[in-house]
């Protein structure tokens, strides 16, 4: 199951990372992303309505976008992992490495993507069975970091998140360095006069997916 999901992510390598207190806004964002070809979406545990909205989004995507894989990010503690696994999270993402979360995810046979910033953290994650690593923060580390450390970690797949730019040059530099996906948050969801432009988000998702395969 975990390997199948990793392969699915590799086939759909742009992962929006989003949170909003308003459920309707979350639904519109998911719809705009799906229309742009997105099939993996990371909602984040960062606000007062995170659990309520996540539960509603799971039902919404099952009814409208069953091909979408919906996971939860910003998981920092075991109790948070357990809560979202009970709700039906299809994968977990963290900005940190925490061996206890790895154990809970393994118990539920659920993909957990830990955040790592150093070779030591990556090695610790690999030692407990994690073979898909979030490089965080991506803009601090950069593709050059991955080029340097990738030969050390055979069999590990990588995804940068945090400050990855929504430009063709940025996306292609990351994929040339060997990532299988990128996570994109605020730079994908820019506002104009405090409003989201859903049509623009759809168009950007389409472009991002093309850039991952050099089909620009």
Catalytic residues: 42, 134
Given its phi and psi angles, is residue 21 left (phi above 0), alpha (psi -120 to 50 degrees) or beta?
A: alpha
Interatomic CA distance for residues 15 and 38, integer angstroms? 7
Interatomic CA distance for residues 17 and 125, integer angstroms? 22
Q: Under 8 Å CB-to-CB from 178, ≥6 apart: which residues?
A: 146, 147, 150, 158
Cα 84 to Cα 43, 60, 177: the distances in Å are: 11, 16, 32
Residue 158, helix vs strand vs coil: strand
Angle among Cα 142, 147, 150 to the nearest 5 degrees reads 115
Closest Cα partner for 213 from 28, 2, 37, 47?
Answer: 37
The secondary structure element, H or E, covering residue 6 is: helix 2-11
Report residue 69 CA to chain centroid gap.
10
Q: Under 8 Å CB-to-CB from 195, ≥6 apart: which residues?
A: none
């Amino acid at each position: 199951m975990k390997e199948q999901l990793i392969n699915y992510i590799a086939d759909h390598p742009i992962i929006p990372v989003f949170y909003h207190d308003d459920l309707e806004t979350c639904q519109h964002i998911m719809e705009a992303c799906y229309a742009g070809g997105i099939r993996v979406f990371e909602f984040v545990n960062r606000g007062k309505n995170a659990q309520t909205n996540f539960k509603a989004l799971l039902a919404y995507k099952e009814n409208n976008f069953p091909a979408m894989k919906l996971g939860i990010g910003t998981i920092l503690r075991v109790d948070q992992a357990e809560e979202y696994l009970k709700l039906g999270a299809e994968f977990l993402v963290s900005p940190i490495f925490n061996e206890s979360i790895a154990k809970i995810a393994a118990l539920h046979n659920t993909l957990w993507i830990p955040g790592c910033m150093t070779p030591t953290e990556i090695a610790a994650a690999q030692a407990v069975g994690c073979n898909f690593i979030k490089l965080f923060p991506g803009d601090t580390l950069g593709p050059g970091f991955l080029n340097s450390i990738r030969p050390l970690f055979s069999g590990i797949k990588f995804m940068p998140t945090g400050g990855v730019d929504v430009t063709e040059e940025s996306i292609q530099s990351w994929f040339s360095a060997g990532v299988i996906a990128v996570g994109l948050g605020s730079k994908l969801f820019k506002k104009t006069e405090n409003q989201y432009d859903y049509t623009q988000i759809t168009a950007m998702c389409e472009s991002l997916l093309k850039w991952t395969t050099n089909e620009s």
